[in-house]
Amino acid sequence: MGFQSLVIIFLLCISMANSDHLKQNKTILQCLTDHSIASPSISSVTFFPTDPSFTSTLQSYTRNLRFTSTTTPKPLFIVVPSHVSHIQASIICCKTHGLEMRIRSGGHDYDGLSYVSKAPFMILDLFNLRSVIVDNGTAWVESGATLGELFYAISQKSKIHGFPAGVCPTVGVGGHFSGGGYGNMMRKFGLSVDNVIDAKLVDVNGNVLDRESMGEDLFWAIKGGGGASFGIIISWKIKLVSVPEIVTVFKIEKTLEQGVTGIVHKWQYIADKIDPNLFIRVVLLPVNKKHLQSIKAKFIGLFLGNGQELSSLMNEAFPELGLSFDQCIEMSWIESILFWSNYPKGTSLDVLLDRQPQQEKYLKKKSDYVQEPISKENLEGIWNKMIELKRPALTLNPYGGKMSEISEFETPFPHRAGNIYKIQYSVTWKDDGVEASGRSLDQIRKLYDYMTPYVSKSPRSSYLNYRDVDIGINENGNASYSEGVIWGRKYFKGNFERLVQVKSKVDPGNFFRYEQSIPCLGSWKSITAE
């Protein structure tokens, strides 16, 4: 057979494949149209790879550049619902065609599980559903809204209300709330989910449920158990919290040469016990310059009170940090959101409505919980390891206060009393390619391994919203109990079994599944019977 004949056969194969894809797309679109009653038509919010807007729609909320490569599996189509019937139709047609559904609200899923799958899948991207209605100390907020949009809407209605949620404005409400939602007011008010009082959800059968109709078990499960295992959460009703008209923030940097070891050591003893109006985060970074290898620590604080009160409190409880009154910056609560997002003072609040991060990176994150203070000697060992590895950073977030008062069984999020602080491990890089990725992943995993003696045990706990597939996955999303329990108890501890029971009741066919979705009871029984 000649070369020309081979070319003709090759082109025929491509043509036939394209023809098959077009037929499949037409069949799926017809299914979506048949089961959707909304105007505008679902066809106007459905994107196939042949559509000019497909790539931009896919990548507009792909926050981790690791998942933008040509080798990353792509969805068969994307639906961006603007009406509940678009969601209902998507469920029906995914079940009809045997497709997995990935549900995305803001795209900050660190390991990309909300928009990547090895199995044939589609993405339901909720960014069109982002209304925020603030009324008399409560708010209904749709899952596709960002935290920035939520904070902005609150600030337009009240100067004395806020909401305890994360400090990154471009995070989507849907994933943030359903995984717990911690922020810099959690020592005073608890997590986001501790202040959720209702929700609207579309279940596997397409029913729209609120708290009363879904029942308390399912309502409990979605408040920290990861909503994407149980249904599609359209919106949340939240209880706003009272904040003073003036709050105070600060940021102080210290290096190894300025006694950072002793300061961090003391921080461990006071950060979870100090006034719950005060939250002090520590960000630890290795410094690797030609003539200097060191550690830099950034102490970032939010105090729900004025500068004079903060200065007095710190002089008494934490004089080692050396916070002076002139380093205390007074501002409104909403302005403190901008400060924590590294915007200069005086920046317009309108930046909170920007749904795109200031920059996107290749990244990997991991997490741990610390329950006993780490000695100065062992802290120095950690600094040496960070300097040796060059890249990974640590962020320490204090617990205590309200977090110690709420039972670990109140919500699926179990990391309450007994935890001094949480560690976030972070590594970012700029270069594309397997080599750069492999090197950075190796660095963060080595630091995580090094930290084993100093963190929680049996299980070594993790935070669901710092999604980490290193701790275990359900192969191909099948969600067997024997696989799920490995990572499930790290995220949920003793609440994992209750989540399994809820999942088995509301989604017995395991339609809502992904690499770390809650497994069903049937797979549990089959394991225990063996």
Q: Which of 195, 224, 242 is the last residue of a domain?
A: 242
- CATH number, domain of 174, equals 3.30.465.10
Q: Tokens in use for 81?
A: 């619902």
Same domain flag for 191 and 267: no
Same domain flag for 213 and 255: no
The confidence score (pLDDT) of residue 24 equals: 80
Same domain flag for 299 and 376: yes
**Adjacency order of strands within the sheet including 121-125:** 46-47, 78-79, 121-125, 100-104
Coil/strand/helix, residue 299? strand
Same domain flag for 256 and 388: yes
Closest CA to 234 of 352, 86, 100, 101: 86
Closest CA to 368 of 271, 443, 259, 470: 470
Give dist(CA 298, CA 187) in Å, integer: 20
For residues 101-138, one letter each, b for 16 or more C-beta atoms within 10 angstroms of the residue's C-beta and e for the rest, the string is: bbbbbbbbbbbbbbbbbeeebbbbbbbebbebebeeee
Question: Is 275 inside any structural domain?
Answer: yes
Whether 393 and 283 have beta carbons less than 8 Å apart is answered as yes
Question: How distant, in Å, are the alpha carbons of 252, 309, 366, 400 from that of 299?
Answer: 5, 18, 21, 18
* Position 529 confidence tier, pLDDT thresholds 50, 70, 90: very low
Question: Is 345 inside any structural domain?
Answer: no
Same domain flag for 237 and 251: no
Predicted TM-score of the model (pTM) = 0.93
Per residue, the 3-state secondary structure of 315-334, as one string, reads: HHHCHHHCCCHHHCEEECHH
Same domain flag for 148 and 65: no
Same domain flag for 427 and 394: yes
Question: Is 530 inside any structural domain?
Answer: no
pLDDT, tens digit, 9 for 90 and up, residues 409-466: 999 999 999 999 999 999 999 988 889 999 999 999 999 999 999 999 999 999 999 9
Per-residue pLDDT averaged across 94-99, rounded? 95
Same domain flag for 316 and 439: yes
Question: Is 470 inside any structural domain?
Answer: no
pLDDT exceeds 80 at position 527: no
Question: How distant, in Å, are the alpha carbons of 187, 367, 456 from that of 422?
Answer: 13, 7, 10
pLDDT, tens digit, 9 for 90 and up, residues 203-258: 999 999 999 999 999 999 999 999 999 999 999 999 999 999 999 999 999 999 99
Closest CA to 165 of 214, 132, 208: 132
Question: Is 10 inside any structural domain?
Answer: no
pLDDT, tens digit, 9 for 90 and up, residues 366-391: 999 999 999 999 999 999 999 999 98
For residues 145-155, one letter each, b for 16 or more C-beta atoms within 10 angstroms of the residue's C-beta and e for the rest, the string is: bbbbbbbbbbb
Q: Which of 75, 93, 125 is the last residue of a domain?
A: 125
Q: Which of 90, 125, 160 is the last residue of a domain?
A: 125
Same domain flag for 152 and 65: no
Question: Is 340 inside any structural domain?
Answer: no
Question: Is 191 inside any structural domain?
Answer: yes
Instruction: Show the domain range for 520.
Output: 478-486+497-524
Same domain flag for 165 and 84: no
The confidence score (pLDDT) of residue 4 equals: 65
The confidence score (pLDDT) of residue 3 equals: 58
pLDDT, tens digit, 9 for 90 and up, residues 458-502: 999 999 999 999 999 987 556 678 889 999 999 999 999 999 999
Give dist(CA 152, CA 105) in Å, integer: 18
pLDDT, tens digit, 9 for 90 and up, residues 116-168: 999 999 999 999 999 999 999 999 999 999 999 999 999 999 999 999 999 99
Question: Is 69 inside any structural domain?
Answer: yes
Mean pLDDT of the chain: 93
How many domains, the chain? Answer: 4
Same domain flag for 183 and 268: no
